[in-house]
Amino acid sequence: MKMYFNQYSRSFLAGLLLLTAASCKKEYADPSGPSYDQAISSPNALADLTVGLQNWYTANRTSIIYTSIATGSLLTNETYVVNAGNADEGQLNAGGASLQNTNAVVTGMWAVSNKIIFDADRVLNNATAVIPDVNYRAGVVAYASLFKAMAIGNMSMFWTNVPDSTGSNVPFITSQEGYRKAVRVINGALNVLAQDTISATFRSNIPPGVNILSTLYALKARYALFAGDYDTALNTANKVTGTSTFNYNTVVTNPIFTLVTTTNNIYQVVDSAMGLPVGLQPDLADKRVPFYVGIGTNPKFRVKGFFTALTQSIPVFLPGEIMLIKAECYARKNEVSNGLTELNKVVTKQPAADAFGVGAGLPEEAATTQSELLTLIYKHRRIELFMSGMELEDQRRFSRPVAERKRSWLPFPFVERNDNTNIPQDPAF
DSSP-derived secondary structure letter, 316: S
Closest CA to 416 of 89, 114, 179: 114
> Is the domain defined by 36-317 classed in CATH 1.25.40.390?
yes
For 79, list phi and psi in degrees, rounded to 5: -130, 170
Q: Provide the pLDDT for residue 297.
A: 86
Write down the pTM of the prediction: 0.94
Radius of gyration over every alpha carbon of the chain, rounded to an integer in angstroms: 21
Is residue 27 exposed (0-12), middle (13-18) or buried (19+ Cβ within 10 Å)?
middle
d(CA 317, CA 142) in angstroms, rounded, equals 17
- CB within 8 A of 118, min separation 6: which ones? 26, 28, 166
Q: Which residues contact 228 (CB under 8 A, 6 or more apart)?
A: 176, 332
pLDDT at 37: 61
163 SS3 class: strand
Cα–Cα distance between 213 and 242 in angstroms, integer?
Answer: 10
SS3 173: strand
Q: How many CA atoms lie within 13 A of 269 on its CB side?
A: 25
What pLDDT score does 46 carry?
93
Interatomic CA distance for residues 410 and 99, integer angstroms: 8
What pLDDT, on a 0 to 100 scale, did the predictor assign at position 33? 55
User: ∠ CA(235), CA(239), CA(242), 5° rounding?
Assistant: 150
Among left, alpha and beta (phi > 0; psi -120 to 50; other), residue 315 is beta
Is residue 363 helix, strand or coil? coil
Contacts (Cβ under 8 Å, ≥6 apart) of 194:
none
- The predicted pLDDT at position 298 comes to 87
User: For residue 40, what pLDDT is reported?
Assistant: 80
Are the CB atoms for 318 and 306 separated by under 8 Å? no
pLDDT of residue 201: 95
Task: Print pLDDT tens along the chain (429 aa).
Answer: 233 333 333 333 444 444 444 444 455 555 555 555 666 888 989 999 999 999 999 999 999 999 999 999 999 999 999 999 999 999 999 999 999 999 999 999 999 999 999 999 999 999 999 999 999 999 999 999 999 999 999 999 999 999 999 888 999 999 999 999 999 999 999 999 999 999 999 999 999 999 999 999 999 999 999 999 999 999 999 999 999 999 999 999 999 999 999 999 999 999 999 999 999 999 999 999 999 999 988 899 999 999 999 999 999 999 999 999 999 999 999 999 999 999 999 999 999 999 999 999 999 999 999 999 999 999 999 999 999 999 999 999 999 999 999 999 999 999 999 989 999 999 999
Cα separation, 62 vs 39, in Å, equals 22
195 phi and psi angles, rounded to 5 deg: -105, -35
Three-state secondary-structure class, residue 342: helix
